[in-house]
Structure formats: structure tokens, C-alpha cells
Amino acid sequence: MITLLTDFGLQDIYVGVMKGVIKAINPDVDLIDLTHEIPRQNILAARFSLMNAVDFFPNNTIYLAVVDPQVGSARKAIIIMFEKGYLICPDNGICSGVLDKYKPQKIMELTNNKYWLNKNPSNTFHGRDIFAPIAAYVSKGVSLDELGKEIHLETLIKVNIPPFILTNNEIIGSIQYIDIYGNLVTNIPANIFDNQSWYVIEKDYIINHYLTYSCVNNGDLLALIGSHGWLEIAVNGDSAKIKLNKEYCEQIKVILN
């Protein structure tokens, strides 16, 4: 199967056209939409979404991810083979989260235009002209060695969330994702707490830890471990992003009791 992740939205024809290109090459392949609502050109959001999706798909899944602010520039188009399958994407850091979890087995730069839609791709729509046909040909069994030239992990662009810092009674983490509800997902993993009690200090708020959103009244802040396994800050029925005026990579302080 091929999964698709983009920032294209569904108002325009871009997603549908990519699916048409794939189906024209391999009519039998299954297509699954991860999301097409990544915030426009937000590579960090795409990184997090891919990283947290791959564990829920069968081995040999092909992950097609197109969030590509530098489309048409000298940035590379790549395919990565790893334990769970294949990731096809621009080399702009979108693969960083997946590569934090899985060691790549092979990385190829997609330079063989035999497997592109045409030899003169658009400067603004590599999703249609390069990435979609490559995904389709891989789904039909085309070898990675035919797609271009092998490159090394060290050459890839990385995007980094500042790492969390743990002291005796304090954790300083960073926001790595903000979901559609305005929940602030940090880079602090659940296993760091080791059954300790804890709370978050942010601006003038002491934000206590609860198990679910409904444990507090509407409009109240809370901290919890989300389904993805990371500490998040939320507002029951509202947006923590708006209430706390926070953005990607900003710090969050946790106090351990």
C-alpha cells in the first residue's frame, strides 16, 4: 500500500492528480490518506506525523510525503528503505523523525528520470511529476537501485527539536507538534516520569497532570500523556495554543514532585 501525507488540502486537485498518476501506473495498489492538512509548509508537523504513523502500518508500506517549500530548487528528492518500508520525500528534514526511530537500510537520490512522469518535471509540482510515479513503480517491485544513485545518511537535511533536559526535579522540554485542537505536544516521553507525580509551570499557570481531558472543567488547562506517548498540554474544550500563546520549539517546564 501507499500512504499519502501532504500540506495540499483538499480544495484543489493536487491530491487527486497524484492519486491518478499512481493508479495509472499501478491500478491495483491500495492508497491511504494519512493527512493532507499539515499546516502549510510546516516540516516539523510533517516530521511528527510521519514518525507517529509508521508503527501502525504493515511492513513494506510505502510512505509518500510531500511538504516541499523548496520545490524546484536544488534540494534532493529521495527514497529511504527502512525496517517498516519505504519513505519517499524531499530531502528537507521531513524524514528526521522516522530516522530517529529506524536505521535506514538504503537511501537513494531519485535521479533516474525514466521513472518520473516525464523528463521535464514542473518546477512547482514534484509531487505529481517525481514522487507519485516513483511510489507507484516501487509498489510494482522496481528495485531501488534503478531509481538513481545511493547517498549516505550524513548528507541528509535534518530538522531538530531542542532536546529535553532533565535535572533532579525539573524537565525542560519543547513543543514538537500542535494538533487541530490546539493541544501542545512536547518532546517529553511518558517513560521519563517513572510513576512520579508532576505538574507543568507555564506563564502564570500551574497545570496539573490528569488522565483525560474531561477531568477538568471546560476552559481549564491540564497536562496529560497523549495517545502518541508524549506529554501534552491541553484545554478542555478549547485551544492551549491560543490560551498560552505558544508555538513550535518553544519551551515547557515540568516540575517533578
Give the mean pLDDT of the chain.
96
Model confidence, pTM = 0.94
Q: Please state the three-class secondary structure of the chain as a single string.
A: CEEEEECCCCCCCHHHHHHHHHHHHCCCCCEEEEECCCCCCCHHHHHHHHHHHHHHCCCCEEEEEECCCCCCCCCCEEEEEECCEEEEEECCCCCHHHHHHCCCCEEEECCCHHHCCCCCCCCCCHHHHHHHHHHHHHHCCCCHHHCCEECCHHHCCCCCCCCCEECCCEEEEEEEEECCCCCEEEEEEHHHCCCCCEEEEECCEEEEECCCHHHCCCCCEEEEECCCCEEEEEECCECHHHHHCCCCCCEEEEEEC
184-215 tens-digit pLDDT: 999 999 999 988 899 999 988 999 999 999 99
pLDDT at 168 over 90: no
pLDDT for the residue 251: 96
Residue 194's pLDDT is 82
pLDDT in tens, 102-158: 999 999 999 999 999 999 999 999 999 999 999 999 999 999 999 999 999 999 999
- Residue that is written with C-alpha cell 528495485 in the block: 143
Task: Assess whether pLDDT exceeds 90 at residue 164.
Answer: yes
